[in-house]
Structure 1
Amino acid sequence: MGMQYNSDQIAQILPHRYPFALVDKIIDGEPGKWAKGIKCVTVNEPFFQGHFPQKHVMPGVLLIEAMAQVGGVAILALPENKGKLAFLGRVHDARFRRQVVPGDVVEMECVLTKQRGPIGVGTCKATVDGQVAVTAEITFAIGQE
């Protein structure tokens, strides 16, 4: 097993806080290469008040953000990136294949495929019960606070 972080340890790497901390734990990975994380979806999430009141569905943009945060842990876990930020630069070829609802455990993986200077690309996938929910390629830029 590679990287393993609980929510307190993730908060030491990523700047995101409630209600925007979207990764509950990192279960595997290698700094600078890839990470796998978990998001446990609960009906108590604030976005379910408006998306949608009659049928709770996790917004696709938040699934993209959650996958990007997993990638952020992968890149920001490198010692040379400690205290830096990873900004989302582009989302390419996002595909939504399954709705994510309260009670789902979303397993997300982001593999960093390219990096040139402060710019990098990650290939991301989120699954629920082995079914693909979302895939996307994200571009990020590492910067200072």
Structure 2
Amino acid sequence: MEEYNTLYDLNAIDIQTYQKNRYPMLFIDYVTEAKPGQYAKGFKNFSYNEWYFPVHFDDEPNVPAFVQIEGLTQMFLMTFLTIPEYKGMKTGFVSIDGAKFKRKIEPGERLDIEATLDSFKRGVAKGHVESYVNGEVACTIKLTITIPDVLKKYRPA
């Protein structure tokens, strides 16, 4: 695979140039480092002002599992959508495997996320993602994501 320059310090505006997610469904705040075709690292800060905390749950607010999965997925997207030819393309889930939730994430906590691209062929990306709160594992997941516009080029006519 071709070697690309490492990207540093991508804020929410920068992230949106690489992927299609937007508020209220943008679940990563910052990418501290992304090596296109290899890995991405960054974080999400969870403020009590998040729209889901009052209903999940009012007496014990915590981050819903779907928000965690989506946040980890969005960091994973940065492992391959930072490759110039794929920048800004639409993506779709193929599989979510082995999701493990190790701890509750509460308002005021920061979720650090590390995504690794294991393979990327014909528009299909496979990899794994781990997240941490204060160095403690919060969630892990294995993902397969596709770029439909690339994948369809390889389908038989």
User: Normalised by the shorter chain, which TM-score bucket?
Assistant: over 0.9
| Identity over aligned pairs, percent | 28
Matched, 1:2 2:6: yes
* Aligned residues between the structures: 144
Report the Cα offset of residue 2 of structure 1: 3.3
Report the Cα offset of residue 136 of structure 1: 0.7
1:75 aligned to which of 64, 73, 80: 80
Give the match for residue 47 of structure 1: 52
Q: Secondary structure at the match of 1:15?
A: coil
CA–CA separation in structure 2 for the residues paired with 1:143 and 1:37: 26
CA–CA separation in structure 2 for the residues paired with 1:86 and 1:79: 15
Report the Cα offset of residue 32 of structure 1: 1.4
Unmatched tracts of structure 2, length 5 or more: 150-157
Equivalent residues of 1:76, 1:86 under 8 A apart: no
1:100 aligned to which of 97, 105, 115: 105
CA–CA separation in structure 2 for the residues paired with 1:49 and 1:19: 15
- Normalised TM-score (structure 2): 0.87
CA–CA separation in structure 2 for the residues paired with 1:42 and 1:90: 29
Give the match for residue 140 of structure 2: 135
2:20 aligned to which of 15, 18, 27: 15
Q: Kindly name which structure, 1 or 2, has the bigger radius of gyration based on alpha carbons.
A: 2
CA–CA separation in structure 1 for the residues paired with 2:80 and 2:32: 15
CA–CA separation in structure 2 for the residues paired with 1:3 and 1:98: 30
Report the Cα offset of residue 82 of structure 1: 2.0
1:32 aligned to which of 28, 37, 47: 37
* Cα deviation 1:69-103 (Å, max 9, x = unaligned): 00112211111102311212211011100111111
CA–CA separation in structure 2 for the residues paired with 1:75 and 1:39: 19
CA–CA separation in structure 1 for the residues paired with 2:16 and 2:120: 24
Q: Secondary structure at the match of 1:94?
A: strand
CA–CA separation in structure 1 for the residues paired with 2:41 and 2:61: 25
Report the Cα offset of residue 14 of structure 1: 1.4
- Normalised TM-score (structure 1): 0.94
Unmatched tracts of structure 1, length 5 or more: none
Give the match for residue 63 of structure 1: 68
Q: Please provide the CA RMSD for this pair.
A: 1.3
Q: Secondary structure at the match of 2:145?
A: strand
Runs of at least 4 residues off by over 4 Å: none
